[in-house]
Structure 1
Amino acid sequence: MAAKPSGNKSVLVIGLGRFGGSVAATLDQMGQDVLAVDKNPELVARWSAHLPTIQADMTDVLAIEQIDASQFDTAVVAIGDSIEASVIITGNLLDAGVSDLWAKSVSQEHARILQRIGARHIINAETDAGKRVGHLVAGNYLDYIEIDGPYTVVKIHTPLYAVGRSIEDVQVHGKYGVTVVGLKAPGKEFQYGSKELVMHRNDELILMGKQDQIDHFIQG
């Protein structure tokens, strides 16, 4: 039985193709505890120098039990070459008690099947890049868009330390190098960022900046 990783959010990524590998690598770079699984020994060997990996066929319930999948906070089913395997693995994980489950779909029909069996998050393989999904799975962002160069645009909830404070008071740009593009409070219209704007709990902030700067702002 595999022990649950300790530390931050623990994420089980199943499938080490281009998409799954990108998700796993992004999560690992963000400091999340990742275990990547694939039945292909070549893919496992390729990634083993970079990530904790296990070779296993997760369509087998015994493999789910041996890895102790239910002990992970989140699971990502990143298989796209076999709809049957994707559906079986998703069902196995749900049966094992994994509640926060992300599953990649390759068609509308595939997505409908995944939804019907209880997958919480459906990933569109054509539009959702692996790096973006990795950031969303980690739970720091409500949305994430990578733009040209080192800059990204993200949507987050107001960090606890900034609740009730203005953008000027927190020194969002001066201290962290981050630009507040705007703010959307529940039930209210979108407001463009200004130094007098006060951030409240559950407000959604649209930020632009470099990845490390945004993470620094979130942490305070």
Structure 2
Amino acid sequence: MAASEGNSVLVVGLGRFGSAVAQTLNDLGQDLLAVDKNPALVARWASVFNVVEADMTDMLAVEQIDASDFDRAVVAIGDSIEASVLTAGNLLDAGLTDIWAKSVSKEHTRILQRMGVRHIISAESDAGKRIGHLIAGDYLDYIEIEGPYTVVKIHTPASMVNRTVGEAHVRERYGITVIGAITPGLPFRHGDEETVMHREDELIVLGLQDQIDRFIRE
């Protein structure tokens, strides 16, 4: 089953994570094919998006669905590290280089990295970090990006109320960047030196975590 030309995605594994990825891609109009070896899962999603039953740890199955014709693949297998690694290896051997793979442990991540998998998703670890930060109460939302930087949504700190980003010397004093501001009921405002930080605003900021924490508390 060959993919059409364009932005095509192969999703392998239809557990909770994989099915959520597949549903989102389908809703976004992506050229999608999902694969799972479990006939019950295939039957469940057959009316929602394109799905076939196959065991992608078998190179013959990889060849039969023309996996090499896809632009990228998501290996969403989480119940078996062996199956995840074999599937990723088969896709790499088929010539797919843009692979996103779910990892369930540090060891799993290390193996995938050594194989040359380009994008590794530590779903449970990432979710745990995010929830921990939200529970702590300082952040309204939290995204950890590559490297040491994070993007967070926060309330305007009391010391910053009604000041512009430039007046408060936010970049110079704290090393962070105000990406934008959200005032309830108004459109998103991109951040610049003239951005006024109102009491009711939610600020989207980028920086090191200790820099952001200092900005909130000073």
- TM-score bracket for this pair, using the shorter chain length: 0.5 to 0.7
The residue type paired with residue 188 of structure 2 is T
Asked if structure 2 preserves the Cα contact closer than 8 Å seen for 1:181 and 1:193, the reply is no
Runs of 4+ aligned residues of structure 1 deviating over 6 Å after TM superposition are none
What's the offset of the Cα at 1:5? 3.0
Asked if structure 2 preserves the Cα contact closer than 8 Å seen for 1:25 and 1:51, the reply is yes
Name 2:188's counterpart in structure 1: 179
Name 2:67's counterpart in structure 1: 69
Q: TM-score, normalised by structure 2?
A: 0.60
Greater C-alpha radius of gyration: 2
1:51-107 Cα shifts (integer Å, max 9, x gaps): 100000000000110111111011000000000000000000001100100000000
CA distance in 2, matches of 1:46, 1:192: 52
What's the offset of the Cα at 1:178? 4.7
Question: What aligned pairs does 1:25-174 form with structure 2 within 5 A after superposition?
Answer: 25-128=23-126
> Mind listing any 5+ residue stretches in structure 1 that lack a counterpart?
130-141, 148-172, 183-190, 196-205, 208-220
CA distance in 2, matches of 1:121, 1:193: 37
Q: CA RMSD in A?
A: 2.8
- Distance change (3 Å), C-alpha of 1:56 and 1:181: same
Greater relative contact order: 1 or 2 (C-alpha under 8 angstroms, separation 6 or more)?
A: 1
Asked if structure 1 preserves the Cα contact closer than 8 Å seen for 2:75 and 2:87, the reply is yes
Count of aligned pairs between the two proteins? 146
Q: TM-score, normalised by structure 1?
A: 0.60
- Distance change (3 Å), C-alpha of 1:119 and 1:107: same
Asked if structure 2 preserves the Cα contact closer than 8 Å seen for 1:11 and 1:73, the reply is yes
What's the offset of the Cα at 1:3? 2.0
> Mind listing any 5+ residue stretches in structure 2 that lack a counterpart?
128-144, 154-181, 197-203, 206-218
What's the offset of the Cα at 1:180? 3.6
Name 1:4's counterpart in structure 2: 3
SS in 1 for 2:124: coil
CA distance in 2, matches of 1:57, 1:50: 21
- Distance change (3 Å), C-alpha of 1:192 and 1:32: farther
SS in 1 for 2:64: helix
The residue type paired with residue 115 of structure 1 is Q
Name 2:212's counterpart in structure 1: none
